[in-house]
Amino acid sequence: MAPLRREQIVRATVRCLARDGYARLTMKKVAREAGVSQGILHYYFADKRAMLVATLTAVSRDVDRRVAAAQSRAPREPAARLRALVRTCLDVAVDRPEFWVVFLEFWGEMVHDRRLRAVNAEVYTRTRRLLARLIADGVRAGRFRAVDPERAAAVVLGLVDGVSLQLTFDPRAFTVPEAARFCDDALARYLHQEDSA
């Protein structure tokens, strides 16, 4: 029961953050949204900072699961797996914009909190490592040019974050298929061998 209750509270925190932002987030609002008492809420989370960390972790894992599922359906070739990752992140921006609100609220708070910066660094380090392994596979297979996989991963992540944010907050700027083509073109120019670009 405990994991289900915790998940219920985290989902309620996502909804509250999306609706009210972190500044107006209270334990009382989350308890009401989750349909639990404040006592239950305090049993799982010491304060709203702890709820914010749990929420970022849950949202990040959800995106990771979606990416893994999309990549499992894609061809094993590195470029196809990278396209699946990008497309999934772009889809999340439109289908689950509240996820990006969680990221934004977290980033706003981490500017002033060393512990939150450490949590964010851990999430981004993990994501860059996953991307770097994929890019290194492409370099070894001769599909990508010889780049430093860690640095290239940071560039790819920056592109995906930036385009995803635009889709979240101005979905009329372009459609997901258009955004996916923009990203594919940019990554082809950046990563592919000259003769395969």
How far apart CA 135 and CA 152 sit, in angstroms, is 8
**C-alpha of 137 from chain center:** 22
Phi-psi region of 145 (alpha: psi -120 to 50; beta: other; left: phi over 0): beta
Full pLDDT tens readout for the chain, 197 residues: 688 889 999 999 999 999 999 999 999 999 999 999 999 999 999 999 999 999 999 999 999 999 999 999 999 999 999 999 999 999 999 999 999 999 999 999 999 999 999 999 999 999 999 999 999 999 999 999 999 999 999 999 999 999 999 998 888 889 999 999 999 999 999 998 665 44
Predicted pLDDT of residue 4: 86
Predicted pLDDT of residue 50: 95
The verdict on pTM exceeding 0.75 is yes
Structural domains of the chain in order of their starting residue, each with its CATH number? 1-45 (1.10.10.60), 53-196 (1.10.357.10)
Predicted pLDDT of residue 197: 40
